Every structure is written in C-alpha cells, then in structure tokens.
Copies of this chain bind each other. A is one copy, B any other.
Amino acid sequence: MDFKAYYANQQKLVENYLKNRIAKKGISKVDEAMEYSLMAGGKRIRPILLMAAAEAVGSKGYNYLPVACGLEMIHTYSLIHDDLPCMDDDDYRRGRLTNHKVFGEAMAVLAGDGLLTLAFEVMLEQKNVDPKVLIETVREMAMCAGNFGMVGGQGLDLEFEGKKITPEELRKLHAGKTGALFIAAIRGGAHLAGANDQQLLALTKFADLLGLAFQITDDILDVEGTEEELGKPVGSDAKNHKSTYVTLYGLQAAHELAEKTVAEALECLEMFGENAEPLREITRLMTDRKK
C-alpha cells in the first residue's frame, strides 16, 4: 500500500471533520481558545489509529469519524491543561504559543473543559452503530481518559515528581499517561466495527505494546533526536530529572527493549492479514520516528 498517501488522506478526513464541528459556535469566546489548540495541526495519530483498528476488523475507518475526532478532542484538552503554569508551565507547543499564553490561564482552563465536554457530545453524535455498542465504546473511552487511565497517569506524574521510581512505576505512569488513549483508540475502533472477542483481545494486547514501544522511542529520541522529531527541546525530560526508559535501563538496553516490543506488537496483528496493513505501518511510523 502507498502508506504516505493513505495517512495523508486519513489526516485530511480528521482535519475536515474537526474543522466543521468546531465551527458550530457556543455562547462565549471559549470557542476561539478551543479552536486555537484543536486546529494546531499534529499527527492526529489517535483518531487515525481508531480508524485503522476498524479497518483491521474489515470495516471502513471513515465510518467512525465522530468517535475518532472526539478522542482527538480529549487528547487536545489534556495538552492544554498539561501546559498550564501550575502543571508543566510550557510557553510553546509545536512551535506556537501555548493556549494560556494567548488566551490567559482562566480561558485555557475553560478551553480544556470545553473540549473534554464537547468530546463526549461529538462521540455520541456517531450514527450507524448499534446504540448499545456506542454506549459501551464511549463509556470505555471515558474510563481510559479518567483517573483509571490518562488523568491517573498525570496524577502519578505529580506524585513521582523528583522521586526515584522503579521500572514498574514508570510503566504504570506511561500506561496511564499515554497508553490509555492508544488503548481507547484501538479498542474503540475495533468495538465499533464489530470485532469479536478474539480480535478484541489481540488488538488490546497490540495497543498495550504499541504504547510501550512509543514511549521507549520517545525516551530514546529525547537523547538522540532532533527537536523537529520530538516537538520539544532535546533532552528536556532528562533536564527535568524525569525518570525515562533510558535513565532506568541505559541507551543500549532501551533500544533493544523497543525493538523487542515492536516485534511483539506486530505479532498480535498476524490474524488480521492484509486488513492490518495500516496498523502495521502506523506502528513503524510511531516507533521509528527518525526515518
């Protein structure tokens, strides 16, 4: 398959959907702050993963744009709140001023709240899916986004600040902070597309390993990469004295762990044959970002 063309096409579908949906105005200027961050580009990896998981099960990904784009809104709100002065206090993201730098802190809090709320509204606009399946899917999205998943990982990040942590704690932290939304994306797409239990199990394992491989790659890039690849200053995690897979295992072992994890992730996709080609390519994209 021509993966570059495929990815560009999926990205365009997501951009268009988000653009049209965010154009429906609310009653205040929180709109502007929401749109600023939502339409700031980015790889749109989570909605594209959701669509690719649906394709692995034999459906068309674009059928599930509302749920996919709701997930992107959850991701975006988490970035806005993460950048706040009381959290990571970042002035820039992807080369642009962060939300609170442009709109002020209070507006940035509301923009995040507004996007998280809109995410659920948009997901529940999904048509052509068995209502019971939609309820179960969106409920699971909430679970992955909350204190059982992403919010929980961010909470652990605060708890672990300045502490020496174990590999198990690091795994738990990232499983929540970044892994949970990958699981939400992949299980969500599979669920919506009518995956059976065996398929769902394989894709859940795949999602878990993909999240791990993604994080190890991120930690390696923090040492070896360029700012362009990282989207943040090189070595910023190390500078912030955060534990990473590189600080815990060393660079060589981190490389080996990443490769092993990617191989295991790809194994989970075997039963899906050709249909899983997009998921395989996205896995390579996410874990070999120097290419």
CB within 8 Å of B: which residues of A? 26-31, 34, 77-78, 81, 84, 86-87, 104-107, 109-110, 112-114, 116-118, 120-121, 124-125, 131-132, 134-136, 138-139, 142-143, 145-149, 151-156, 158-159, 172, 176
Contacts and interface: CB of A to CB of B under 8 A. Distances in A.
A116 B118 contact: no
Which of A105, A139, A159 has the largest count of B CB atoms less than 10 A from its CB? A139
Copies of this protein, total:
2
Nearest to A145: B117
A161 to B, nearest CB: 9
Nearest to A129: B135
Interface majority SS (helix, strand, loop, mixed), chain A: helix
11 contacts: A26-B152, A27-B156, A28-B158, A107-B155, A110-B151, A110-B158, A114-B151, A117-B142, A118-B142, A120-B120, A120-B139
B29 A148 contact: no
Contacts of A114: 146-147, 151-152, 155
Contact of A147 (B105, B118, B138, B149): B118
